[in-house]
Amino acid sequence: MVNHSEQSMRSAIEDKLSAHFGVRPEQASDGQLFSACAMLIREAISRQRTLEGPDAGKKQVHYLSMEFLLGRSLMKNAFNLGLLDELRAALRAMGREPDDIFEAEPDAGLGNGGLGRLAACYMDSAATLGIPATGYCLCYELGIFRQKMENGGQTEQADVWLPLGESWLVPCYEDMVEVRFGGRVEPQWDSMGNYHADYRDYTAVLALPRDMLIAGYGCRRVNTLRLWEARSAQSLDMHLFSSGKYAKSLEQRTMAEVITKVLYPADDHLEGKALRIEQQYFFVSATAQSIVRHHLRAHGTLTDFADYHAVQINDTHPTLIIPELMRIFMDDHGLGWDEAWQIVTACVSYTNHTIMSEALETWPQGLIQSLLPRIWEILLEINRRWRDRLAAVFGESEKVGRNLVIHSGRVHMANLCAAACRHVNGVSALHGSILKNELFHDNYLLTPERFTYITNGIDHRRWLSQSNPQLHALLCELIGDGYLRAPEELCKLKAFADDTQVLIRLEQIKSANKARFAAWLSRCSDFRLNTDAILDVQVKRLHEYKRQLLCAMLITHLQQRIHDDPGAPFVPRSFVFGAKAAAGYTVAKRIIRLLCSLAADVHADPLCRGKLQVHFLENYRVSAAEILMPAAQVSEQISTAGKEASGTGNMKLMANGAVTIGTLDGANVEMYARLGDENMFLFGLRSEDATRLRATGYDPGAVYAASPAIRRVLDRFSQGFSDGESYADLVSRLLYGGDEYLLLADFADYVACHDRMYETICRPERRAAISLANIAESGYFAADRAVAQYRDEIWQL
C-alpha cells in the first residue's frame, strides 16, 4: 500500500501539471489533470513494484488474449492502491470535481466483449492473489470501433484512445523483437542427417512492447500487461522519397503499422483474413520470443522451461504460439523435435470460451503457407504425427479426419489446441460438459484427464465496491469489508434477509443508482428514463444466439397488449439495450436497426407513455456499464441453451442485486443452483431439449401457424414500425431459415415467465428480498475464486 496525504497528493499533482504541461491547476484542462494524476499513480505503482523483488525463481503465468477490455484505469488503480479517497479530496481541494476528471479518461481500446473483460478481471485477481502473471495483447491504435447511431442504425468510427490512454504505457525499447513474414524456407541438412530450416527473403516487422502495470488490491504485488505495437524495420525508403514518390516511400511502414491498427478487422475478404493471421502471428511470435529470452537470462537453459512457465491461450486466436515455440526451440536453440514438443505440451494450456463455429477459427492453408512458410512446415509435421496417433486408437475412421489439424484445405486452430495443450478447459459446468461430450469428445476419450472446467468470475471490487459505492458502504456496515479480499463472505448478508430496514435501504440505493444512470443518460442522449419504472436491461455483444431479437419480440407483444386493453394493470418498465455488432455481421446490424425502430415507435406511442420505454444505448463500453449495472433491476440472460459458454454480465448484474430472467445456459446453471426458483426466473428449452428438438425436425413455420401471438408480432416486424422500414428479412430467417436459435420455440414460455416475474417484483419488499439473495450468493462468481482454481488446477504454481 502507498501512503499519501491529501496535501502531499495535491502538491504532487500540481508538480506534474507544472513540469509536463506548464500550467497551474486552475488553468489545466480535465485531460491535462487526468494525465497528471495518471502519471502520479503510475509512478506510485512502479515504486511499489520495486519493493516486491524479482520473480526469477518462481513459476510465471503468461496469459495470452487478443482482447483486454480494461475500461478506465485511474479510479481502479487508485482504489487498489488505497489512494482513491486521498485523490478525490486533493482534486476537490483544487476546485475540481473528481468525477469530471475520471470521465476525461477514455476507455482503453483493447477489447470488445466478455473475452476481453474477463482477461482484465483475471489480471486484477492474479495480482491481488500474489500470482506472478504477465498478460499479453496487441496495442491497438484504434481499438475495435466507436459505435455511432446514425439514421437508425450502427455506424463504425475510429476509437481514438491513445493520446490520453498512453499515460499508462511504458515503452520498453530494450525488449523489442523482430517478427518475420513471407519469404521462403530452404532446407539444409547437416552431416548427421538432421534438417535445418534456412529462412530467407522474409519481411521483418518490429514488435515494441508497451507495458501497462497492474496493481493488486491491498498488496504490494504488481504485474504487467505487455502490449505489442507493430513498427516497420524501415520507416522510410529514402531512395523513393528522394525521387518524389512520397506515398510509396512510406508503403512498408504503413503495411507494418496496420497490423496493430484495429482489433478484429473485417475478414469477409481475403485481405482481411491475411491481416487477421498477421495479427495473430505477430502477437504470439513477439510474446514467445520475449518469454524465451527472459527465461534464458534467468536460467541459462531451456531444459527446465516448463518448470518455470505456464502459458494460457484464450480462445483460438493465440494458438500459433504452439508452432512458434517449436520453431524457436528447434531453429534458434537447436533442440530436437521430441524435446521441443515435450516442453511445449507441458506448459501450454487452452481455454475454450465459446463453441460457436466462427470462433473456432480455421484458416485457408494457402494463406498460412505464403505468410508463414516455416510455421507451415511445423504444422505439417504436427499434423502427420497427430494423424498417426489418432489412427492408432480409432483406426481409419471419420474420427481421424475430423480431428486433424490440417484437412479440407484448412488449418483448424481448435484441433491444434486439442492435439498439443496440457489442459483444455471450459468456462462453466455446462460448457465443460459440452466440450467433453460434443466438441472435443474424441480427444476426451483419448486423454480425459486433460479436460476440465473453471466457471468464469468477475472483479467484484470493480463491479460492486467501486461501481456501487452506496451498496459497498451498506455491506461494510452489515458484514464488514472482509469481502473485498474474501468474496465468499458476501453470504453473511443472508442473515439480514428478513430485516425490513435493510430491505428498505437496498431499495433506496437502487433508486439512487437509477437516478444517477438517468442523469448520465440525459447528458449523453436526448432520452429521459422513467425512474419510476422497472429498469430491464440486456447488455452484451450483439449476436443472434444471445437473442436480443427475442426480447424485441416480447416488447412488441407488450405494446400490442397495451393497445388491446389500455386500462388493464401494467407494471411500468423501461428496456435498455447495449450492444455492438461486428462491422461485417449484417444480420446483427439489422437487429440493432430493428431495436432502434422499435424504440422510436414505442416512444411516439401515446398509449405506452408512462408504461413502456425502450432505449438503445450508443457505444456500450466498460465505463457505461459501471453506471448501468448498479441501476439495473432486471437482467436479461436469454441465450439459446447450450450456446453461451458462461457469460459474465449475468454475474455483474447479480452482484448489484438485479433479478435474472434467463435460460439454463452457461453460468446461469450455477447461478440457479444457488438461487432457486424463488430468486431467479427460468424459461425455455434446456440444452438437451434443444438438441432433441433439432434432431426430431423442428418446424418454425408450424409454431408460427399455431400461435396467434407470434404471428401478430412477426407480422408487425414484416410490416415495419412507425419509420416504415420492414424487417421481413429477419422474419424470413426465422420462418424459412430454420430459426437456428429457437426464438419461436421459446417465445411463449418467455412471455409467461416475464409475466410471472413482474407479478413478483412489482412488490418492493419482495423485489428487495430477491435482490439481497442475489448479492449474497454472488461471491462464488468472483474472479479471485476462478483465478485461484487456475493457479491450483491448471497452472500448478
Q: Of 423, 505, 652, 716, which one is the catalytic site residue?
A: 652
Q: How far apart are CA 646 and CA 780, in angstroms?
A: 14
492 is annotated as an active-site residue: no
Q: How far apart are CA 182 and CA 200, in angstroms?
A: 9
261 is annotated as an active-site residue: no
> What are the DSSP calls for 71-130, one per residue?
---HHHHHHHHT-HHHHHHHHHHTT--HHHHHHTSPPPSS--SHHHHHHHHHHHHHHHTT
Per the listing, cell 500448478 goes with 796
546 is annotated as an active-site residue: yes
Q: Of 648, 660, 663, 733, which one is the catalytic site residue?
A: 648
Q: Of 295, 546, 580, 615, which one is the catalytic site residue?
A: 546
- Can you read off the three cell numbers belonging to residue 494? 443472508
Cβ partners under 8 Å of residue 266, min gap 6 = 272, 582, 583, 584
As a whole number of angstroms, the longest Cα–Cα distance in the chain is 93
Q: How far apart are CA 307 and CA 312, in angstroms?
A: 15
Can you give the three-state secondary structure of 408-445, one letter per residue? Answer: CCEEEHHHHHHHHCCCEEECCHHHHHHHHHHHCHHHHH
In contact, 127 and 219? CB cutoff 8 Å: yes
- Which residue type occupies 788? A
353 is annotated as an active-site residue: yes
Partnered with residue 148 across adjacent β-strands are 155
User: Coil, helix or strand for 229?
Assistant: strand
In contact, 624 and 578? CB cutoff 8 Å: yes
User: Phi and psi (nearest 5°) for 764?
Assistant: -55, -40
Cα-based distances in Å from 2 to 123, 298, 538: 20, 29, 39
Q: How far apart are CA 660 and CA 682, in angstroms?
A: 8
In contact, 460 and 780? CB cutoff 8 Å: no
Q: Of 309, 353, 460, 547, which one is the catalytic site residue?
A: 353
Q: Of 505, 541, 593, 643, which one is the catalytic site residue?
A: 541
First to last CA, the chain: 25
Helices (H), 632-727: 649-655, 668-675, 687-696, 700-706, 708-719
652 is annotated as an active-site residue: yes
Q: How far apart are CA 505 and CA 473, in angstroms?
A: 11
Per the listing, cell 487498489 goes with 80
541 is annotated as an active-site residue: yes
- Which residue type occupies 395? G
Instruction: Classify residue 562 by its DSSP letter.
Output: H
Instruction: Output the CA angle 653-454-287, nearest 5 degrees.
Output: 100
- Which residue type occupies 222? V
Dihedral Cα 264, 269, 274, 279, nearest 10 deg:
-10
Instruction: Classify residue 782 by its DSSP letter.
Output: B
Cα-based distances in Å from 236 to 206, 243, 254, 728: 14, 13, 10, 53
Q: Of 317, 387, 412, 540, which one is the catalytic site residue?
A: 540
Q: Which residues are catalytic?
A: 353, 540-541, 546, 648, 652
